Structure 1
Amino acid sequence: MKDPIFAGRTAITGIGTSIPPYKLEQDKVFQRIEDSCKYHSDLMRWARRIFRQNGVESRYTVEPDFLRPAGECRYLPDGPGVPVPTTAERMGSYERESVPLAVHAAREAMADARIHPENVTHLITVSCTGQFLPGLDSILLQELGLSMRVNRIPLQFQGCHAGLKAIQLARNIAESTGEHTVLVVCVELCTIHFQPPTSRDALFGASFFGDGASSCVIQAASSRQENVFLLGQGHSVLVPDSREEMIWRVGDHGFDLYLSPAIPKLLKRFLREEIQFLLDDRELPFLWAVHPGGRGIVDAVQDLFALNDAQVSFSRSVLKHVGNLSSATILFVFKEMKNELVKQRKAQAEGISLAFGPGLTAELLAFTYAAKTESPEESRSESMYV
C-alpha cells in the first residue's frame, strides 16, 4: 500500500509546456549586457562572473528586439540616457504574447491527460510578470472551449513558488469531492522586464530568467491513468527575517527585481527542518523536483541533502536549456522527470518538490510517480491482504 505522505487521492495526469520562438544564447545576451555596462567597469567584471557561473546556456524570449545587433536593443541600450520601453509598453507586450503561450501549454496538458475541455471544473492561472483585465483566465475559457461556469482562480504577482502553490491548491480542490478536474496554467514573460543594469544585484535577473508557459491537469487518481504523479502531503512556510532577500516591485520601466546572493545560505539554514516536518522523519526519497531558481539554489539543496547528480539533473537541465521561468518552471522539471522515468520504464518512485519565492516563501510537496495507478477500491482491497 502506498505511503499517504507521498501519495494521496489525486494526481497530475497531464503536463504541457510551451516556449516562444526567439532563442537567446547566453553569450549573445552577455554581449548586450557588456555594451550596456561599458561605462561601469566594476559592473562588467561582476557580470562576466555571473554569466559564466549561473548554469544557463540558452533561454527564450517573446521579444525579437533582443536578437538585434548589440547596441540596438531597446531594452539594453549601449549608453546612458537612451529611452527604454515604459511599463505600459511592456504590459502591452505581455497581453499580446502571453495568451498564445498559455493556450498551447494548456492544450498539451489536456491532451496528455486525455480529457476534453468540458471536463474541466476549475481553472487556476498563475503569473507575476504581467496583468490585464479581462484577465488571462477569462480569455482561456473561450480559447480552450471551457465551460463559462468554470470556477476561475487567478494567482497574481506571487513569484517563483506560485506554480507549486497552484498545484497544492488544485490538489485540495480535486480532493474535496473527487469529481473536480483542475487545469493549472502558468505563464511568465520575464525578459520583457530586462533593464539596463545599474547595480550588481540587477544583473542576476538579466543573467538567467527566460519566458515560457506550463500547464497541468489535476484530478482524482483512477486505474485508467498511466505515468502520473500522485500528490501527497505538502505545506508552505514563510522564512523569518528574510523579506528583503527577494523583492519584485512595479517600476516606471518594467518590474524591478532584487535577488540577494545570500538566498542559498538561508535555504541551508531552514530547509532541513521543513523537510523533516513534511516527511515525519521518513527517509529521503530518490526523486527531487527542485525549482531551479539559480545554480546556487540547486547546489544548496544538493549539498544539504547529499543528493547525487542524477537526483538534481532535471532541475539543472531545465536551467541550462530554458533558464528560470518563474512560476512556470516547476512543471518543466516535472515534465522532464516524467519523460525520463517513462524511458527507464520505472514502475514507481517517491519524491519531493520544492519551490522558493518572495517572502522568503518555500513550497514543499511530496509525491509518487506511478507508471500505472490503482482505483481507491483496488487500494482498499490490497490493504486487506497486507
Structure 2
Amino acid sequence: MKDPNYANTAAIIGIGTSIPPYRLEQNEVFHRIEASCKKDSDVMRWARRIFRQCGVDTRYTCEPDFQEEAGSCRYLPDHDGGIVPTTSERMEVYRKASVPLAAQAAREAIAEAKLDPSSITHLMTVSCTGQFLPGLDTLLVKELGLSLRINRIPLIFQGCSAGLKAIQLAKGIVESCPSHNVLVVCVELCTIHFQPPASREALFGASFFGDGASACVISSAASGHEHIFELGKGHSVLIPESEDEMLWKVGDHGFDLYLSPAIPKLLKTFLREEVELLSEGRALPPLWAVHPGGRGIVDAVQEMFQLDDSQVAYSRNILKNFGNLSSATILFVLKEMRNNLIERGTEQADGVSLAFGPGLTAELLSFTYVHNVKKPYSARRDATYV
C-alpha cells in the first residue's frame, strides 16, 4: 500500500539551463578592466589579486560589445569621460535578451519533465538584473504555449538566493495540491551592469558574475519520473546587523553592486546553527549544492562542515566555467550534481542546498536524489542520510 504522504511530496522532475553566445575568458575581462582604470594603480593591484583568486576561468555574456578590444568596450572605456551605457540602454538589452534565454531553459525543463506546456499551473519567474512591463512572465506564457489562466508569480530584485527561494515556494504550492505543476524560470544578465570600477570593492562583481538562465519543473514525486530531487524540509533566515554587507542599487549607469569581503566570515557565525536546525540532529548528508557566490563562500562552507573536495566540486565547477549567475546558479549546480549521480549509477542520496543573498539572507533546503521513484516512499525515507 502506497504511503499516503508520498502524493504530497514535491520533487524537481526536470531541469533546463541556457547561456548566451558570447564567451568571456577571465584574462580578457581583466584586460578590459585594466584598460578602463589604468591610471589608478591601487585599484589595479587589487584587481590582479581578485581576478587571480576568484575561482573563475570562463563566463558568458549577452552583450557582443564585450568582444571588442580592450579599451573599445562601451561598458569599460579606456579614457576619462568615456560615455558608458545608461540604465535605460542596459534595460533595453535586458528586455531583448532575457526572454529567448529564459525560454530556452524553460523548454528544456518542460521536455525533461515530459509535460505538455498547457499542464503547467504556476509560472514563477526570478530575476534581479532587469525589469520591464509587460514582464518576463507574461511573454513566456506566449513563447512557451502556457495556459492563459496560469498563475504567474514574479520574484524581482531579490538577489542570488531567490532561485532557491522560488524552489521552496513552488514546493509549498505542489504540497498543497499534488495536481499542480510549477515552472520556475530564473534569468540573470549580470554583465550588462559592468562599469568602470570606482573602488576596490566594486571589482568583486566584475570579477565573477556572468549571464545565464535556468529553469525547473516541480511536481508531485508520485509522477513516476526517474532521476528526481525530492524536496524536504527548508527554511530561510535573515542575519541581523548585516544589511550593509550586500547592496544592489539602481544607478544612472546600471545597477551599482557592493559586496563586502567579510561575507564568508559572517557565514561562519550563523550557518552551522541553521544547518543543524535543518537536519534535526541527524548526521550531515553526503550531497551539498552550495550556491557559489564566490570562491570564499564555497571555501567557508567546506571548512565549516569539513566537506571533502568532491562534495563541493559541483559548486566550484559551475563557478569556474560560468561564474556566478545570481539566482540562476543553484539550478546549474543541481543539474551538474544530478548528471554526475546518474553517471555513477547512484540509486539514492540525501543532500542540502544553500544559497545566500541580500539581507543577508540564507536559504536552506534538504533534498533526496532518487533514481527510481517506484520504490516504496516509506522505505526510501527510512534510508536517509547514509
Partner of 1:12: 12
Residue equivalent to 1:283: 283
Relative to 1, partners in 2 of residues 1:223 and 1:248: Cα closer, same or farther, differing over 3 Å? closer
Pairs within 5 Å for 1:31-70: 31-70=31-70
- Aligned partner of 1:4 in structure 2 is none
Q: 1:72-107 CA distances to partner (integer Å, 9 max, x unpaired)?
A: 000000122111000000000000000000000000
2:4 counterpart residue number: none
Instruction: State the partner residue of 1:350.
Output: 350
Q: Secondary structure, in 3 states, of the residue corresponding to 2:231? A: strand
- What is the distance in 2 between the residues matched to 1:177 and 1:195? 46
After TM superposition, give the deviation of residue 222 of structure 1 in Å: 1.7
Pairing 1:311–2:303 present: no
- In structure 2, the CA distance between the partners of 1:289 and 1:380, relative to structure 1 (3 Å rule), is closer
Report the 3-state secondary structure (helix = DSSP H, G, I; strand = E; otherwise coil) of the residue aligned with 1:257. strand
Q: Deviations over 1:191-234 (max 9, x none)?
A: 00000001001000000000000000000012621000000000
Paired amino acid for 1:256:
D
Distance (whole Å) between structure 2 residues aligned to residue 381 and residue 69 of structure 1: 59
Q: Residue by residue, what CA displacement relative to the aligned partner does 1:225-250 show, whole Å, maximum 9, x if unpaired?
A: 10000000000000011000000000
Instruction: Identify the residue that residue 168 of structure 2 maps to in structure 1.
Output: 168
Partner of residue 76, structure 1? 76
- In the TM superposition, 1:185-264 aligns within 5 A as 185-222=185-222, 224-264=224-264
- Specify the alignment match of 1:142 in structure 2: 142
Amino acid at match of 2:22: Y
| Identity within the alignment, % | 68
What amino acid does structure 1 have at the position aligned with 2:148? M
Contact persistence 1:221–1:374 (CA under 8 A): no
Give me the CA root mean square deviation.
Answer: 1.4
C-alpha separation in 1, matches of 2:194 and 2:378: 53
Per-residue Cα deviation, 1:334-362 (whole angstroms, up to 9, x for no partner): 00000000000100000000000000000
CA 1:89 to 1:370, structure 2 compared with 1: closer, same or farther past 3 Å? Answer: same
> In the alignment, what sits opposite 1:329?
329
Which residue of structure 1 aligns with residue 377 of structure 2?
379
Structure 2 residue ranges without an equivalent (≥5): 1-6
Alignment CA distance shift 1:29-1:381 (3 Å): closer
In structure 1, give the amino acid aligned to 2:208.
F
What letter matches 2:264 in structure 1? P
* Cα-to-partner distance string for 1:249-279 (whole Å, 9 max, x where unaligned): 0000000000000000000110000001111
Counterpart AA for 1:379: Y
Q: CA deviation at 1:381?
A: 8.7
Aligned length: 376
Counterpart CA distance in 2 for 1:360 and 1:137 is 27
Asked if residue 23 in structure 1 is aligned to residue 62 in structure 2, the reply is: no
* Distance in 1 between residues matched to 2:201 and 2:283, nearest whole Å: 38
Residues 1:133 and 2:133 aligned together? yes
Shift of 1:379: 3.0
The match for 2:151 is: 151
Change in Cα spacing, 1:268 to 1:380, as seen in structure 2 (3 Å) is: closer
Contact 1:23 1:59 in 2 (8 A): yes
> Which residue number in structure 2 is paired with residue 270 of structure 1?
270
SS at structure 1 position matched to 2:312: helix
Deviations 1:42-63 (A, max 9, x none): 0000000000000000000000
How many Å separate the matches in 2 of 1:268 and 1:36? 35
Q: Measure, in 2, the Cα distance between the counterparts of 1:162 and 1:12.
A: 16
| Code of the aligned partner of 2:56 | V
How far apart are residue 281 of structure 1 and its match?
1.1
2:245–2:262 contact (8 Å) kept in structure 1: yes
Contact 1:164–1:363 (8 Å) recurs in 2: yes
Deviations 1:136-157 (A, max 9, x none): 0000001000000000000000
Q: Is the 8 A contact 1:223 1:374 kept in 2?
A: no
2:292–2:298 contact (8 Å) kept in structure 1? yes
CA gap of 1:152–1:242, structure 2 versus 1, over 3 A, is same
